[in-house]
Each structure stands twice: as C-alpha cells, then as structure tokens.
Amino acid sequence: LHVAAHRGSVKLAKFLISYGANPFIVDDQDRIPEEVALRFSNDQVFKYLIKMRIEDTKKKVTRSWSLSLEKKKMELIELEEKY
C-alpha cells in the first residue's frame, strides 16, 4: 500500500486492500500509507484510504453494537428464566 500511495495508484491500492493488505501497517519511516499519499500529494489515494478507514470503523461499530445488543438480550432471557 505504501508503494500505491507513493505512486498515486488508486487501482493498486484497491487491489491490495481487496486481498487483505493492512492499511495500518507502518513503513521503515513509521508512516502509514495515508501519510505517504499526503507526502507525495496523491490526493485520490489519500481519499480512498480515508474512505476505507471510515467504512472499516463503521463495520466495527455496527458489529460491536450488534454484539452488545445480543448480550443484553441473553441477559434478559436469563433473568426471565430465573424469575
């Protein structure tokens, strides 16, 4: 992803992410791909990586919320059975 960010290749970034590339990994200068894209003024790659980060965060929040809801449902069921 760092190479895609450096070269400004959204197509390569999409390809790598679709195969599971980690957008949070740092390079030998402790930079994530977003920072590399910014450094080399590759706005389209930067925007794509930010979009992927937002979508990933939304998925995690939704998953966490769903798990919390399921946990609460189970607690209510246990309380109903108990009383």
pTM: predicted TM-score of the whole model, two decimal places: 0.70
Q: What is the pLDDT along the chain (83 residues), one digit of tens a residue?
A: 999 999 999 999 999 999 989 888 999 999 999 999 999 999 999 999 999 988 887 777 677 677 777 777 777 777 777 77
In a 10 Å sphere around its CB, with 0-12 CB exposed, 13-18 middle and 19+ buried, how is residue 77 labelled?
exposed
**Share of the chain residues as helix, strand and coil, in percent rounded to the nearest 5:** 75, 0, 25
